[in-house]
Amino acid sequence: MTSHQNNPGEQGPAEAPAGRGEDLAALLTRVLSEADITQKQLATDAGVPYATLNAWIKRTRGTSRVEAETLRTIASVLNRRGVELTPREVFNAAGRAVPGRSDEEREQHLLKLYRQLPEDKQRDLVRYAEAALSLSRAS
């Protein structure tokens, strides 16, 4: 008898634990020591207030309302520090399913990037978007 295996790209239930059965606090505690990075450094690099990150690690603040982009950023920061960690593992540890980016999330992300650009680059980006729209309409 063979057991059914999930498609690796398939989303699991939101309650699925991290690969090692860790919640977010345990996962962060473990990887912070592996990456030789402090909570303060992770908070700064991920754009999370230190007090918030510390509360997650101490389990005094829940993680159900953490923005998806924040969880992705934490995974990215830790990966740059040499920790092999997927966004799925971070989402699972937070007790959340890995969402695809919604239209609103994509728009917010684009707007955030746009606002960080100097004015001349903002104009370039608008011209590029107009050209891309024109091409998509011609297709």
* pLDDT tens digit sequence for 46-88: 999 999 999 999 999 887 788 888 999 999 999 998 888 888 8
In a domain, 60, yes or no: yes
In a domain, 13, yes or no: no
Token pair of 51, please? 């007090």
State the pLDDT confidence band at 101, using cuts at 50, 70 and 90: low
Query: Is the model's pLDDT at 9 over the cut of 60?
Result: no
In a domain, 11, yes or no: no
Query: Is the model's pLDDT at 8 over the cut of 70?
Result: no
Tally of structural domains, the chain: 2
Same domain, 88 and 107: no
Q: Which of 138, 115, 137, 135 is nearest to 127 (CA)?
A: 135
Same domain, 45 and 78: yes
Q: How many CB atoms lie within 10 A of CB 85?
A: 23
Domain with residue 66: its CATH number is: 1.10.260
The structure's pTM equals 0.58
In a domain, 40, yes or no: yes
Same domain, 76 and 111: no
User: Do the Cβ atoms of 82 and 76 come closer than 8 Å?
Assistant: no
Residue numbers of the domain that contains 71? 24-93
Same domain, 64 and 118: no
Query: Is the model's pLDDT at 37 over the cut of 70?
Result: yes
Mean pLDDT of 110-132: 93
pLDDT score recorded for residue 87: 87
